[in-house]
Amino acid sequence: MAALYAEFFGRSAPGPSDLRPWLADSADEQPAPDPNARKKRLASKAAYRRRRSADDVFREKERERARERRRNNPDKVRAQKAKRRADNYFRRND
């Protein structure tokens, strides 16, 4: 089979590293993730939300977008609502 491949393509059959070069020693090249990266991202998202919550034009635009989505996708909205109600069915208030 390898001889047939070499005859057809003019080179030997590719090895596993030829097929997936991104897998070869990728663990050694990447630095360890920053443990504070998640906290930084969450803080950034919170700051963005604070800025947007004070922006009346943006809030009204988002309300209109949500209305349009509910109007255009009633089945999806109904399924989402049923799922949320089912999730909260056994929630207790104590």
Question: What contacts 17, CB < 8 A, 6 or more positions away?
Answer: 23, 24
Q: What is the mean pLDDT of residues 2-27?
A: 58
- Alpha helix segments (H runs only) across the chain: 2-9, 16-19, 26-29, 37-53, 56-72, 74-87
pTM of the model: 0.43
Is the pLDDT score of 1 beyond 80?
no
User: What pLDDT, on a 0 to 100 scale, did the predictor assign at position 88?
Assistant: 80
Rg (CA), the chain: 27
